[in-house]
Amino acid sequence: MIAGIDIGGTTSKIGLVLDGRVLRQTRIPTTGHADDHAFAQALATAVRSLLADEGGGSLEAVGIGAPNANQFTGIIEMAPNLPWKHDVPLARMLQDRLNVPAVLGNDANAAALGEWRYGAGKGYDDLLVVTIGTGVGSGFIVNGSLLLGSAGNAGELGHMTLAMDGRPCTCGRKGCLEAYVSIRGMRQTYAELANDLDLLKEEGVKCIADAAHAGDRAAQRTFEETVHWLAVGLANAVAVTGPRRVVLFGGIVRSGDLLLAPLKKAFHSALLNIYQGRVDLTVSALPDDDAALLGAAALTTIPMKIRK
């Protein structure tokens, strides 16, 4: 059995994974702990409690997916959305507490591994997985391995610049894909198109989708623009790594008629001719509740490569 842990900004999920299935899961708050050691302790306690509920069984390893995680060092590096502003060596902290090997990885890479091992990317040696939520994350499988890059931080498709002098992004630069395609980006597009900045804070993607279905033109155009930017961003990623399949994950991509259907069309017309017919686009096949845990568990299947 492998323990999968998914660290989120407010809540962290912990699950026991066996043969690509989540046997049992729980969650604890990410915030409110005395310090990072207390948080690591709470995670370890949760793992032990799940094991006890499962009636024992042997734990092989721990896989942890987190924002701003460095796969090479096992450290969460100055994550802007987590309570700790210093480096947190969470892999080592859990390894010490649970006495099994622990691997820490970027949450988007974890999602990619989860899709590759257990989901819609199974059997694809060249794969791109894009998760769309508050931000946009991505993980690339190339030549049958996770693409980590020289410093363990490759795969930041969300921060590909698409609009010169475009919208400010949370990263401090301008015109990133994420500034247009994420939940935050769609909300901003809607507020701009509807000419009502109050919408910026209120509207979820579900509300925008409902409005689009009810005939609201600004909401419909919000989806059209989102599709446009995402199609170009995906086509650009294909031109670099040449995947056979692209898998999308996240609530937004479930808006089928508003997003996926037009996206497939826009993606294929955005592709360079040599990739036409050689790459398909699909959505995650994993249950929403389990995906992050399966991905975190899948991190343990790749070697940690600590480099200087």
- Per 3-state DSSP, what percentage of the chain is helix, strand, and coil (rounded to 5)? 45, 20, 35
Region binding a copy of itself by CB under 8 A among candidate stretches 6-14, 25-33, 53-61, 138-146: 138-146
Q: How many residues bind a copy of itself, per CB under 8 A?
A: 46
Q: Which of 100, 142, 283, 285 forms a contact with a copy of itself (CB under 8 A)?
A: 142
Binding part of the chain for a copy of itself, among 36-44, 182-190, 204-212, 275-283 by CB under 8 A, reads 275-283
**x/- track of binding to a copy of itself for residues 232-261 (CB under 8 A):** x--xxx-xxxxxx-----------------
Helix (H) or strand (E) holding 235: helix 217-241
| Residue in the block written with tokens 């701009």 | 192
From CA 169, how far away is CA 87, in angstroms rounded? Answer: 23
**Residue 51 beta carbon to a copy of itself: minimum distance, rounded to whole angstroms:** 34
Helices (H), 75-177: 90-98, 107-118
User: Does 273 contact a copy of itself by CB under 8 A?
Assistant: yes
Binding residues among 108-137 for a copy of itself as defined by CB under 8 A: 124-126
Closer of 7 and 246 to a copy of itself (Cβ):
246
- Residues β-bridged to residue 199: none
**What is the pairing mode between strands 245-249 and 280-283?**
parallel
Task: Build a one-symbol-per-residue string for 62-91: x at contacts with a copy of itself by CB under 8 A, - elsewhere.
Answer: ---------------x--------------
Under a CB-based contact definition with an 8 Å cutoff, are residues 3 and 47 in contact?
yes
Cα–Cα distance, 197 to 192 (Å, whole number): 7
CA dist 223 and 259 (Å) reads: 6
Contact set for a copy of itself, span 149-208 (CB under 8 A): 149-157, 159-164, 171-173
Least Å distance between CB 273 and a copy of itself? Answer: 7
Measured CA to CA, the distance from residue 43 to residue 92 in angstroms comes to 13
Least distance CB 79 / a copy of itself (angstroms)? 11
